[in-house]
Structure 1
């Protein structure tokens, strides 16, 4: 499939505007803390949420509002997760009412989301002031997407947004995304916040099906620290304004849409993992030659989740034994006898393990490879045709510093 990455994020598709403002949830007035996304029309909508038994109040509201498969706006705040607050659900519902009034849409078509500190009191006052301000600032421009991407950040060091164009039924369609998350990211659903918009025409059922198909091989394959957040949310709105025939069943157009969704999700996962709290390296593990997809995914996750290997990457130490160890404790019935491992980056590639044993390599060359920001671990299991990817980051001193002082 052919697709082109373009600028504009969530405002690149037809029919979407976004904004970010400071409403007062964060004490620092220079930080935006409220994002608003609005569609010109009522959209097909779908979502995937945290598997944590403790979940944010907005998620409960989202699940109710997505029952009919449609929505028109998304409201996101940072700084307070609206989790474990006695008035959480009522507050989230009141926020939807405020958005409905400001935008002239049904409150049931508003999807709220929150990120920040868990278990803190929350009041409506910042929203009462911020929602009208955000509505006034809405812009169908790259700046609108950028401001929204900025407003949802917590410990992220930079904004995360992408957009891609592709063809469906002879029409040019666009898919855009923004996201946040650099901590509490483990392979267990989408452990962060992500918001997707598209002007492709897709039925609610097929939109949900596409998400369910793409998430296991992308967001479920991402890890920073093995902590699954309480507020993980991935939402997608489809306006249909591109004019393609509505995707209502599986077929070539559905496959093309899933391919575009996968492409942008992989970009987002790499961006999240590479910006992990305190991280100095993005670690991507590509597993090939696995006996089946389940094993390929599990092995690649084990490698990027290994704290010992993450620490070794931070120290630029090609300690491949830690990779083999992580493969070895991966659940499943498979042999490690044919496992081969390469470490790769823009600086080159070193072959470090052949048939589960040492393969001669230069430690100096390996150190150069590991000095780059983006590190690729290639694992060939020699057992079959299945393959998978996972994304993670190194483990540094700063991760502990950031989380030791998170509330201060």
Structure 2
């Protein structure tokens, strides 16, 4: 893929049905005029935004964490974290990370900094751990050195207790909540999909953890034989997106369906989100998983996609840099080559808009930085990280 010359289009305001069709402190300084810029095509610039290269040279960038110094940490699925200093256009290797299983969808996954990072400098990294015959999603915690280039005293604070023998559906997305607890989304391990209905294991769950990896006392199943103490919700397929709306105290979660049936859900404790007992998708070979799309005691998504767009992350937009998008959800898509905007009105879905469509780019992540800019990563070797900026006035 020729990233520097990517022919990408920013659509205007064509709105689709809300559940219509569709897995397969700051931030780095703005790039100069020589950087790659992906601009709207003629006649389609009324939405007013473009992708401007912020830094380049990343191999399957999976997660971003924005540091108080204005730089950022980038986790690459190939097993490396890079530090992008303020104003830099490439990343420097961060040493000391854990050994990971780089196979299939496995490797380094998401990265997050501690809510009290300025005083403790703790960083959290989710990753696949083990061998091809026995592996799980793990969560490392380490102190980041003062020069941002070394993980000091790394330790796994959580390893999913249910092992698998596949290299698919690790989940891995991280989200800190206002109470400083941490959500970790997990996948069903693909061939173990039926276990997503059994919260006594970790397949297809969202875990809520303290910062030491233990279960908070107010988790919904603490002290019960029904589920693991760390389980927050279950019945998920492959959790890829977590986002929080502080104004309404709402957690949003997105996950890959099979062939069709991708979802965005409102996440609440103890609830069952249905997979694979109910789904709007089918197996990749077209065979039926279930004829049920609804069942008592199982939650319905607020958005579903048939066919799939493979929603690989979600961001709840709060920034006034994007007035037309404030209060909406953006999701990166691995299929369909786009950023999908879900138009929300006080939490109700009004429609959708496809942004930055092109001829085959897989978008891995969209994330809002503390300075209000949105950043986008590409799921490919030697790929840039882009910042969404207004189109300059002509």
TM-score of the superposed pair, with normalisation by structure 1? 0.25
Say which structure is richer in helix.
1
**Higher radius of gyration, 1 or 2:** 1
TM-score of the superposed pair, with normalisation by structure 2? 0.26
